[in-house]
Structure 1
Amino acid sequence: MLPTRNSKLSSTLVIDSALFDVLSTEKHRLFFGFTMSDHLNNTRILHFKNKGRNADELRRRRTDISFELRKSKREDTLSKKRSLHVQNVEIDEATTSVLRDGSGLLMILQNAQSPDPVVQLNAVQQARKLLSSDRNPPIDDLIHSGILPVLVNCLGPHNKSYPELQFEAAWALTNIASGTSEQTKAVVHSGAVPLFLQLLQSPHMNVCEQAVWALGNIIGDGPHFRDYCIELGIIDPLLEFIKREVPIGFLRNVAWVIVNLCRSKEPPPSTLTISKLLPALSVLVHHPDMSVLVDTVWALSYLTDGGNDQIQMVIDAGVVPKLVQLLNHREVKVQAAALRAVGNIVTGSDEQTQVVLNCEALSYMPELLAHQKEKINKEAVWFLSNITAGNREQVQAVINAGLIPTIIKLLEKSDFATQKEAAWAISNVTISGQREEVAFMVSQGVIPAMCSQLNSRDVQVVQVILDGLNNILKMAGDEVEVITQQIEDCGGLDHIETLQTHENEEIYKLAYEILDKYFTDDEDLMGGNPTEIISFDKCGHGLPSSHFEFK
């Protein structure tokens, strides 16, 4: 067990100077004064935990670590695939009985190849009805029956005089493609995609729309089929529907397909594809229909999640002012999508972050931080955590907007996910800010709020808070006793002592360093056995040694 503050052992702390050494500053100046002229050099960041990272890298690391799980949950709620169901009453007994009789599917297959167009249409329609059931549609049964090539053949140009047949076949294939990846693959391997692309030129609107829907399901399966559809030329004919006057339901499907084209980032869509999609998105982001607007903003959020080059393309498209305005939209779904999009933008460079700030994004934050939906609170704090990971002027902008007291309150009392983001937001100030900014947080009661999270079960939260406290103590200079007293008064010292036995190596080492450096009384240094000095073995246990170091 590591020695606690009152263990009465004389110990010498030898640590990695690149990681923990305090940058030499003029300690004789007043820490809490707001008129002092000495500022920590920007290279101070290199001496903290994230040494070797500039502000942009720090911000991107925040995205990589804390953003991935949340994003996967959000993607699960935004459908990649959609099937077109009908009410059960539409599926008659004659249709469902084919599943009870093995010869039924064979009869459908045979009739779907009939030279009689009426017989053929009825058979394809019967297959479509089976696939349109909202209760476990027999997709695999129909695939195994061998009907896929027959349905695909119905899409061909030789049937252009039979648009109803093309429509029914496209509908059936749409629902098959809405299934598992294997089922979608079966549709693609049957040769359906080139024919769906041809149907985008059909003079019949319902046929065009059904082809768009089917392609959306295929693209939604992942980047492989997305890129396949792009190579075959889906982009240009798809975007033509935005220029034409199409029914709103059709336009909603077009917007949804665009979302799927933008969705994946492993790999992301090509620069050429993005450059084609952005002009359309810059138009649709102003559309009054809620469904179109939500999908459009999510599409932009996916593009801004693909790195700084893609972020810059979105900025250059001129949509950022509109995205910021949508933070105040009456619909939560729109707010959430817009907040994610601008949140992704501020994970970029300081210059890209400044574009969002120049649109007065911070003025929308008080309402979002107080929003009745916890997910909005969390996303708003995440947004601010990436601002506080920027340059000093951006940190000061958050302070000037009056947001620090609210972040501190949310750190102390809110749902856990929001508290975690608040921990990052506060800790980032101790890295990106300087003594004045940190002093302001201290004056607003940040120390008790930070210490309240030291008993968190989340290792990352504890580590972020410890890092922040350590940074504050390093910057305090002659006022360090003010900080240590606050830590002790609010019970933080007890928590830090307990963390010396934490199973995480970085946490227990940092806890011990803080205690040894800032909380070792003179009597501690004089007491105990002056020759016994503590060392860590690889498991973190205290062992007698001739010196103190981390192995």
Structure 2
Amino acid sequence: MSRIPKAKTDEVVEDMIDGLFSDDPSRQLESATKFNAFLSSHEENLPIDEIVVSEVVPRFVEFLANKDNTELQSAAASVLVCISKKNTEVLIDHGAVPIFVHLLRFPTGYLQLQATGALGNVASASTQSRDYVLRCGALRPLLAQLHVNKHIMMLRMAAWTLSTLCCGQPRPPFHQMKAALAPLEKVLHFNDKEVLSHACRAVYYLFDGSRETFQSFFDAGLVLRLVQLLGYGSPSVIYLAIRTIRNLTNVDDQQTQLVINCGALRFLANLLTRNHRINIKRVACSTISNITAGTKELIQQSVIDANLIPILVNLAQNAKLGIKETALCAIVNATLRGSYAQIEYLVKQGCIKPLCDLLICPDRRIISVCLDGLENILNAAWAEKKIEDMQSYCQLIQDEDGIKKIQKLVQIVSYEIDRKASKILQTYGMIYKG
């Protein structure tokens, strides 16, 4: 048996290790408890290497499997959880994971909690470790805890561990994780910020972008609940929920309509006007951009009838750059997909000004979006043979110094921007006018 060198630590002493390998259960428990206390007192700088190179880890795994001594099991579980924070491979190598999975079914709450934490630590280490935990059958007993357990610490730990099982690339196959949908919907009604955050994160990673998965989410009540959580009091929960909603609106028009039917527009308007978190506003604008990339009916319902265009125009003019960009994308998508009457409405709401203002933005991607928007507006007037409207739009662009800005863009070393700028100037005879 190899030992922990005394030179490397003053606190792990010889008799502690000897006690672990004693045949006396009371001495085993005493030594295991000392190890637990030692690791707890050194949590910031755990001497894991010294412990791993000794033979104590397989001994603790042996104790973990000793169902006749729950005190010893609990002490061993605590030690192994500490070790799993820094070295998960050793738990896998010595067969601890299947035992922890078995302990998820154990009637003693403390062992369940420790087992859940250990499995979460292992699953979070790598995709391979995550898949190993799943192969060991952890999902079903973990979901059972979300169904039946009402202890807040257990719910938090179980929700976190489930989120670790859902994340990573490649993601676990949806058919393997589908059983998690109903428990997650239940947990998402629990009024605790930490539980909700972990559950929302799990839902985010579970969604693979397919129609089939969307339908499963919808049937399980997850779409409705995520929309409702946009009105929750915690910004972190709102952000995690809206990230998934944004992805749900990026499937196709039918699924987007279902999200709208759940009441998403009212919450999105509130987030854009009353929430001060930049990351939330950006994702909210991005969600609306997904909607305006759809049909004319969606544009009418999502941005015009819901009175979101004035809000988007205001953000495109006055918000910070990251929000301006996503607000502009929502507007420009509407100029591309909308009817002429809808584009007229956009112009009347003042969308040309921010499109011209940001032509001098240092971000070429934003410049390209602005050029797209201006060209879409002019193209719509031309297609409808609305010459007076087109002249009026050109005048609005000139009034915002848009022509001069577009002329300068022709000189930029970017083929895409040069092409778009030149096309506007050449097609509509706007060079050097005004």
Tell me if both proteins adopt one fold, taking TM over 0.5 as the criterion.
yes
Which deviates further from its counterpart, 397-406 or 321-330?
321-330
Task: Encode CA deviations 1:443-463: one digit per residue, 9 max, x unaligned.
Answer: 111111111112222222222
Aligned to 1:34: none
Map 1:103-182 to 2 at 5 A. Answer: 104=12, 108-132=16-40, 133-156=42-65, 159-179=66-86
Unaligned 5+ segments in structure 1 are 1-96, 525-551
Structure with the higher helix share, 1 or 2: 2
Count of residues in correspondence between the two structures:
422
Map 1:64-103 to 2 at 5 A. Answer: 100-101=8-9
Query: Does the CA-based 8 Å contact 1:99-1:105 persist in structure 2?
Result: no
Task: Encode CA deviations 1:167-195: one digit per residue, 9 max, x unaligned.
Answer: 2222222232223xxx2223222221111
CA distance, structure 1, for counterparts of residue 88 and residue 401 of structure 2: 58
1:471 deviates by 1.6
TM-score by length of 2: 0.90
Query: Does the CA-based 8 Å contact 2:282-2:326 persist in structure 1?
Result: yes
Specify which of 151, 162, 172 is matched with residue 258 of structure 1: 162
Residue identity in the other structure for 2:50: D
Identify the structure with bigger relative contact order (alpha carbons < 8 Å, sequence gap 6+): 1
Aligned to 2:267: 364
Residue identity in the other structure for 1:165: L
Unaligned 5+ segments in structure 2 are none
CA distance, structure 2, for counterparts of residue 98 and residue 348 of structure 1: 61
**Is 2:416 the partner of 1:506?**
yes
CA distance, structure 2, for counterparts of residue 320 and residue 338 of structure 1: 10
| SS of structure 2 residue aligned to 1:220 | helix
1:522 to 1:118, Cα distance in 2 relative to 1, 3 A:
closer
Map 1:26-425 to 2 at 5 A. Answer: 100-101=8-9, 104=12, 108-132=16-40, 133-156=42-65, 159-179=66-86, 183-264=87-168, 266-370=169-273, 371-397=275-301, 398-425=303-330
Query: Does the CA-based 8 Å contact 2:81-2:117 persist in structure 1?
Result: yes
CA distance, structure 2, for counterparts of residue 136 and residue 101 of structure 1: 12
Aligned to 1:475: 380
**Is 2:353 the partner of 1:448?**
yes
Query: Does the CA-based 8 Å contact 2:12-2:38 persist in structure 1?
Result: no
CA distance, structure 1, for counterparts of residue 118 and residue 338 of structure 2: 51
CA distance, structure 2, for counterparts of residue 297 and residue 523 of structure 1: 54
1:392 to 1:99, Cα distance in 2 relative to 1, 3 A:
farther
Which deviates further from its counterpart, 103-112 or 329-338?
103-112
Task: Encode CA deviations 1:257-313: one digit per residue, 9 max, x unaligned.
Answer: 22222223x322223333211111122122233322232223222223543332222
Task: Provide the alpha-carbon RMSD of the alignment.
Answer: 2.4
Specify which of 322, 331, 335 is matched with residue 430 of structure 1: 335
Percentage identity across aligned positions?
34
Residue identity in the other structure for 2:31: A
Query: Does the CA-based 8 Å contact 2:120-2:160 persist in structure 1?
Result: yes
CA distance, structure 1, for counterparts of residue 153 and residue 431 of structure 2: 73
Specify which of 395, 407, 411 is matched with residue 485 of structure 1: 395
CA distance, structure 1, for counterparts of residue 417 and residue 433 of structure 2: 26
CA distance, structure 1, for counterparts of residue 77 and residue 112 of structure 2: 10
